[in-house]
């Protein structure tokens, strides 16, 4: 039964909407016969033999400097998608040609006074047209009229109306130009109409493409944002923009319902029905329409593999350097194996853009393109354009930034440099860089197929298997290329892992996710039956193979779902990663030298990259403290959705942090490097990492979460916040006695500890912008909890310990340091008499596995 859709639009204000005042402007009675005769004559007089006409979705007529759309009655009230993109942007802008500006659903309809309205709409709610409630849904919503066009002529032979779109296209409106937020980002004001024009319009069977040049007056002299060079030089900024009018399918593709246990992008709307007792939210995934050819329909129904009627084709931007094109095409075609598991052969194809073909345009929304940007940004992204009614992906323009290769170089050198000699220089050979490009291309294409990140995929691999060549050959180091798993940094030189098995590839989860989203389901299923079938597919598959688990996008407190991590044990994986960094550090000067005239810019950058990698390893471990495993389930599945990380694992994490960050990592603080580089940020990077770890460990969010866990799971021997804070105190302070002597690094660690305890106890005492922001966050998390009480208790305990120990100390700098901290504490808690509060020293449980490696 065809659903009845009702749209609710967001009202968009535009300066070109003054023609809305024409609604109901005349009460004159017109003789219909005279109107018909006059209209026919008007059409012949308007669209003369001199008119330049293009047939397509709309017949487009150019008469002199005017552009007319001829809209057939058959297109009235048909949904269309209008996609607006940049073609060219000014120097210094953060956007590039091919990037999307906006996407809107529109309809054209006949108005009451010989005019045509353009409405802009968003699908918010729907009801079956045979249900009585559909009338209520329809009555509750109305879509805004963005523009009203006078009908300039009627073509009775074609049953179409001609409207003048020149001023609308040339004007400033949120459908075809920049919105207010985008203008604000560029520091632009009003459109300069005399410097703006329609460059060209092309019409095709399913879409009409418009290219315009728009010039805006720019704000100059403001210090709020970086000004564009064009704005400074000329006071104006010129952009080239493409608008695609795309006819949406008359019959929307059958939706596939969303399931949180499979990582797809999704859309939703509210659904009403006569038999409901509550409103349902209809949520459905984004996917391409893959269907068998008519002659293969029976094969498809029998479950045989078929070639789709319309494969997914990605074109490579002709601006792409030729030597990288084959690797990008390979990255696209790598997904064929996943579609084969869904029952389709050759379902996705990567090809080069045909040159010198005037019928094709890179901005044409009929074509999916990997656009190559000449940009210093280190990035790539994979968006898609979706039919809002069904989730059908209509096309995609992947964004690829030239300087992404710099990021790939940094990642591979510091993660694989210890085991792959090809990574030990500043310029990689073409084959290596090509393989790195291929992997990123596969990842971004995955997004355009509808897949979200799966940050938990790598946690399904036992760490020791990451050192096993046989395992890696069969499975790879992560089950999904949609993870941020990058390269196998766990592999050690003695493991002799082939270099191809250091890189991600299409994995078990990727194949499964494509199978779940694209494979054939039995026909004529009721909605409830389809939902049950899809759910059972997840339960059966994931229970039999944990590598098919979707671990989310790393936005919760689950230590399994982190970016840039590997394996099922963060302590063990990070230890191996640091061992490799220790191997790399002594060779950085050698590897970053290109010739004798080089300065140390390369060394500075790579050293910073190495410290950032080390920081990742440390924070992967820290996430276990106060962590919660989150495993979405349905009512029919066994097991808990939320489960705290066990106490032993959290204690092991604290041991690791003591060994690898609280104790000075001298291997990383190398004088041969620090005495050569100039950047203060790089010189202090290790200390800043230590301080950020301490800030994180004593954050209000973590401690309030541990408090909740201790209360909620008290029967499961949780790691209580009081035990944790006592352990952390012992790690930082140890046993102070007559021989106690601190290093500069240790003193910074202890200052950071005290400052963060003070922030916990009295957020208003925090100093500095960053500390102030974190204090406000802690204040919100810790109000009316025991966290502030524990912070005060630990401050008092430390104050007493310092006061008792100072008289017997002999090291002058340590005495000065402790006197400073004693005074800092006193300014918050006041001077107290010598006290001896209960202090539980930190002891390593004999059952805790030492982290190993130095």
Helix or strand run (H / E) with residue 829: helix 812-829
> Residue 130 has what pLDDT?
56
- Pick the closest to residue 331 from 480, 423, 446 (CA basis): 446
Contact 118, 105 (CB under 8 A): no
- How many angstroms separate the CA atoms of 590 and 413, rounded? 13
Buried-state track 492-521, b at ≥16 Cβ within 10 A, e below 16: beeeebebebbbbbbbbbbbbbbbbbbbbe
Q: Residue 213 has which token pair?
A: 């040049």
Half-sphere exposure of 36 (CA within 13 A, CB side): 6
Query: Per residue in 675-726, pLDDT tens?
Result: 999 888 888 999 999 999 999 999 998 999 999 999 999 888 999 999 999 9
> Residue 14 has what pLDDT?
32
| pLDDT above 90 coverage of the chain, percent | 65
- Pick the closest to residue 124 from 108, 141, 136 (CA basis): 141
Q: How many beta carbons lie within 10 A of that of residue 23, not counting itself?
A: 13
pLDDT confidence tier of residue 780, bands split at 50, 70 and 90: low
Check whether 258 has a pLDDT greater than 60.
Answer: yes
Check whether 842 has a pLDDT greater than 70.
Answer: no
DSSP sequence for 371-420: EEE--S---EE---EE-TTT-BEEE-EEEEETTHHHHHHHHHHHHHTTT-
> Residue 173 has what pLDDT?
87
- Asked which of 242-256, 745-759, 821-835 is least confident by mean pLDDT, the reply is 821-835
Q: Residue 19 has which token pair?
A: 């023609």
Residue 496, sorted as left (phi over 0), alpha (psi -120 to 50) or beta, turns out to be: left
> Residue 33 has what pLDDT?
42
Dihedral angle over CA of 340, 346, 348, 354, nearest 10: 170
Check whether 78 has a pLDDT greater than 90.
Answer: yes
Query: Per residue in 364-405, pLDDT tens?
Result: 878 999 999 888 889 999 988 899 889 999 999 899 999 999
Half-sphere exposure of 19 (CA within 13 A, CB side): 21
Query: Hey, what long-range contacts does 61-65 have (CB within 8 A, 24 or more apart)?
Result: 61/162, 62/201, 65/166
Buried-state track 814-834, b at ≥16 Cβ within 10 A, e below 16: bbebbeebbebbeebbeeeee
Q: Residue 517 has which token pair?
A: 């989203």
Contact 752, 826 (CB under 8 A): no
- Compute CA distances 392 → 80, 288, 314, 395, 542, whole Å: 14, 5, 16, 9, 26
- Pick the closest to residue 267 from 162, 401, 399, 124 (CA basis): 124
- How many angstroms separate the CA atoms of 322 and 352, rounded? 10
Q: Which residues pair with 644 in a beta bridge?
A: 628
pLDDT confidence tier of residue 790, bands split at 50, 70 and 90: very high
> Residue 768 has what pLDDT?
55
> Residue 766 has what pLDDT?
62
Contact 502, 487 (CB under 8 A): yes
Buried-state track 703-737, b at ≥16 Cβ within 10 A, e below 16: bbbbbbbbeeeeeeebbbbbbbbbbbbbbbbeebe
Check whether 847 has a pLDDT greater than 50.
Answer: no
> Residue 163 has what pLDDT?
96
- Pick the closest to residue 347 from 313, 316, 380, 321 (CA basis): 313
| CA 377 centroid distance within chain | 16
- How many angstroms separate the CA atoms of 145 and 593, rounded? 63
- How many angstroms separate the CA atoms of 510 and 453, rounded? 11
- How many angstroms separate the CA atoms of 379 and 383, rounded? 13
Helix or strand run (H / E) with residue 644: strand 642-644
Burial label for 777, CB within 10 Å (0-12, 13-18, 19+), is middle
Q: Residue 350 has which token pair?
A: 């990567």
Query: Per residue in 511-563, pLDDT tens?
Result: 999 999 999 998 888 888 999 999 999 999 998 999 999 999 988 899 999 99
Contact 487, 497 (CB under 8 A): no
- How many angstroms separate the CA atoms of 452 and 444, rounded? 10
Dihedral angle over CA of 269, 273, 275, 280, nearest 10: 10
Q: Where are the alpha helices (H) located in 504-657, listed in sequence order?
A: 508-518, 527-544, 570-584, 588-592, 601-622, 647-657
- How many angstroms separate the CA atoms of 38 and 40, rounded? 6
> Residue 128 has what pLDDT?
56
- Asked which of 73-77, 190-194, 393-397, 764-768 is least confident by mean pLDDT, the reply is 764-768
DSSP state of 349: E
DSSP sequence for 58-69: SEEEEETTEEEE
> Residue 499 has what pLDDT?
95
Check whether 30 has a pLDDT greater than 50.
Answer: no
pLDDT confidence tier of residue 854, bands split at 50, 70 and 90: very low
Q: Averaged over 820-825, what is the pLDDT? A: 95
> Residue 426 has what pLDDT?
96
Query: Per residue in 129-186, pLDDT tens?
Result: 555 544 454 555 567 899 999 999 999 889 999 999 999 999 888 899 988 888 887 7
Check whether 493 has a pLDDT greater than 60.
Answer: yes
Q: Of how many residues is the chain composed? A: 854
Contact 730, 723 (CB under 8 A): no
């Amino acid at each position: 039964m065809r659903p009845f859709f009702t749209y609710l639009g967001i009202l968009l204000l535009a300066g070109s909407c003054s023609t809305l005042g024409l609604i109901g402007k005349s009460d004159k009675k017109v003789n219909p016969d005279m109107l018909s005769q006059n209209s026919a004559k008007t059409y012949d007089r308007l669209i003369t033999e001199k008119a330049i006409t293009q047939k397509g979705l709309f017949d487009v007529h150019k008469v002199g400097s005017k552009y007319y759309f001829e809209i057939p009655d058959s297109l009235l009230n048909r949904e269309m998608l209008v996609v607006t993109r940049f073609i060219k942007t000014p120097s210094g802008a953060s956007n590039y040609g091919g990037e999307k500006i906006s996407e809107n659903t529109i309809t054209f309809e006949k108005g009451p006074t010989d005019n045509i309205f353009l409405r802009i709409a968003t699908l918010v709610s729907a009801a079956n047209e045979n249900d009585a409630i559909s009338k209520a849904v329809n009555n509750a919503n109305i879509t805004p009229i963005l523009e009203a066009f006078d009908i300039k002529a009627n073509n009775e032979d074609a049953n179409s109306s001609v409207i003048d779109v020149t001023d609308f296209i040339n004007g400033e409106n949120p459908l075809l130009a920049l919105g207010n937020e985008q203008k604000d980002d560029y520091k632009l004001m009003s459109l300069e109409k005399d410097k703006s024009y329609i460059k060209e319009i092309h019409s095709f069977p399913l879409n009409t493409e418009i290219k315009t040049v728009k010039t805006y007056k720019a704000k100059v002299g403001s210090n709020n944002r970086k000004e564009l060079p064009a704005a400074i030089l000329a006071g104006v900024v010129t952009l080239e923009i493409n608008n695609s009018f795309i006819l949406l399918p008359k019959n929307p593709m059958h939706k596939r319902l969303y399931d949180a246990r499979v990582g797809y992008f999704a859309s939703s709307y509210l659904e009403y029905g006569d038999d409901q007792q509550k409103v349902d939210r209809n949520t459905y995934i984004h996917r391409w329409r893959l269907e068998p050819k008519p002659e293969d329909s029976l094969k498809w129904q029998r479950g045989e593999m078929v070639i789709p009627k319309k494969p997914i084709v990605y074109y490579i931007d002709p601006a792409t350097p030729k030597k990288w094109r084959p690797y990008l095409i390979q990255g696209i075609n790598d997904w064929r194996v996943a579609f084969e598991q869904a029952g389709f052969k050759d379902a996705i194809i990567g090809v080069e853009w045909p040159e010198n073909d005037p019928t094709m345009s890179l901005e044409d929304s009929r074509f999916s393109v990997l656009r190559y940007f000449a940009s210093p940004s280190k990035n790539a992204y994979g968006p898609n354009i979706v039919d809002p009614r069904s989730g059908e992906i209509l096309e995609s323009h992947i964004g690829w930034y030239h300087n992404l290769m710099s990021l790939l170089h940094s990642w591979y050198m510091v993660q694989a440099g210890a085991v792959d000699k090809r990574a030990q220089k500043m310029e990689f050979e073409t084959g290596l860089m090509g393989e790195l490009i291929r992997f990123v291309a596969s990842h971004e294409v995955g997004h355009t197929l509808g897949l979200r990140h799966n940050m938990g995929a790598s946690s399904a691999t036992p760490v020791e298997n990451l050192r096993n060549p046989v395992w890696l050959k069969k499975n790879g180091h992560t089950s999904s290329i949609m993870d941020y798993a990058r390269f196998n940094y766990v592999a050690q030189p003695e493991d002799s892992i082939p270099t191809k098995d250091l890189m991600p590839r299409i994995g078990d989860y990727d194949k499964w996710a494509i199978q779940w989203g694209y494979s054939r389901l039995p026909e004529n299923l009721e909605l409830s039956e389809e939902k049950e079938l899809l759910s059972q597919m997840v339960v059966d598959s994931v229970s039999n193979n944990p590598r098919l688990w979707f671990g989310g996008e790393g936005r919760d407190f689950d230590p399994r779902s982190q970016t840039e991590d590997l394996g099922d044990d963060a302590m063990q994986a990070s230890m191996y990663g640091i061992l490799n960094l220790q191997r790399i550090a002594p060779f950085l000067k050698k590897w970053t030298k290109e010739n004798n005239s080089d300065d140390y810019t390369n060394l500075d950058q790579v050293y910073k990259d190495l410290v950032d990698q080390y920081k990742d390893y440390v924070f992967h471990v820290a996430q276990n403290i106060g962590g919660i495993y989150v495993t979405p389930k349905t009512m029919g599945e066994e097991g808990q959705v939320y489960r705290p990380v066990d106490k032993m694992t959290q204690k092991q994490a604290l041991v690791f942090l003591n060994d690898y960050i609280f104790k000075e990592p001298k291997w990383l603080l190398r004088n041969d490097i620090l005495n050569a580089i100039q950047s203060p940020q790089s010189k202090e990077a290790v200390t800043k990492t230590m301080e950020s770890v301490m800030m994180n460990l004593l954050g209000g969010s973590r401690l309030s979460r541990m408090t909740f866990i201790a209360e909620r799971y008290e029967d499961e021997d949780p790691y209580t916040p009081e035990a944790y804070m006592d352990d952390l105190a012992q790690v930082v302070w140890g046993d102070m006695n007559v021989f106690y002597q601190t290093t500069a690094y240790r003193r910074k660690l202890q200052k950071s500890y005290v400052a963060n305890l003070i922030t916990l106890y009295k957020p208003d005492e925090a100093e500095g912008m960053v500390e102030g922001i974190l204090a406000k966050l802690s204040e919100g998390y810790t109000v009316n909890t025991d966290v502030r009480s524990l912070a005060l208790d630990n401050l008092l305990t430390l104050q007493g310990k310092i006061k008792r120990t100072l008289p017997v100390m002999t090291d002058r700098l340590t005495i000065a340091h402790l006197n400073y901290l004693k005074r800092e504490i006193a300014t918050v808690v006041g001077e107290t008499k010598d006290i001896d509060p209960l202090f539980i020293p930190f002891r390593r449980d004999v059952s805790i596995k030492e982290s190993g490696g130095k």
